[in-house]
């Protein structure tokens, strides 16, 4: 028996509704995955910023986002390792890291020894003091 036009239209409508429902479900899952991806990238970037600032402070006494003279020292050390990164790129990353973390430090670190002074410095991240003066 051959289906009539009304039955055929009804079948196609049902198939369309199922496909539309599946598409909506898949789109919702995709949005959840995109949000999770952004959260992971944010955490990864924050960790990278913490490492970049920590190494810059410990090795090069880079203390504030205004310490632009230190980017040349970082570039020179990297060049000795065969890694070519421009001063401006280094300074941009240090600036972005400091601004993103609201990082401020006031400490005279001994160059190339990464030793903290006997008295713990004042370090603030996002306005919260991490070590008392």
Digit-by-digit pLDDT tens for the chain (133 residues) are: 666 888 889 999 999 999 999 999 999 999 998 888 888 788 888 888 888 888 887 777 655 545 555 667 788 888 888 889 888 888 888 888 888 877 665 544 444 455 544 554 556 666 666 554 4
The whole-angstrom separation of Cα 5 and Cα 123 is 76
pLDDT of residue 109: 47
Q: What is the pLDDT of residue 124?
A: 62
User: What is the spatial distance between Cα 80 and Cα 75, in angstroms, rounded to a whole number?
Assistant: 9
Instruction: Determine the pLDDT at residue 91.
Output: 83
Three-class SS of residue 55?
helix
Distance from first CA to last CA of the chain, Å, rounded? 90
């Amino acid at each position: 028996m051959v289906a009539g036009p009304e039955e055929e239209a009804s079948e196609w409508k049902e198939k369309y509704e199922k496909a539309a429902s599946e598409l909506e479900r898949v789109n919702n899952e995709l949005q959840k995955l995109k949000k999770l991806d952004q959260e992971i990238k944010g955490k990864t970037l924050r960790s990278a910023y913490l490492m970049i600032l920590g190494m810059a402070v410990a090795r090069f006494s880079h203390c504030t986002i205004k310490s632009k003279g230190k980017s040349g020292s970082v570039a020179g050390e990297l060049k000795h390792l065969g890694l070519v990164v421009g001063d401006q790129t280094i300074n941009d990353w240090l600036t972005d890291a400091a601004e993103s973390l609201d990082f401020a430090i006031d400490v005279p670190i001994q160059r190339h020894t990464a030793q903290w002074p006997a008295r713990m410095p004042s370090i603030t991240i996002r306005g919260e003091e991490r070590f008392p003066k």
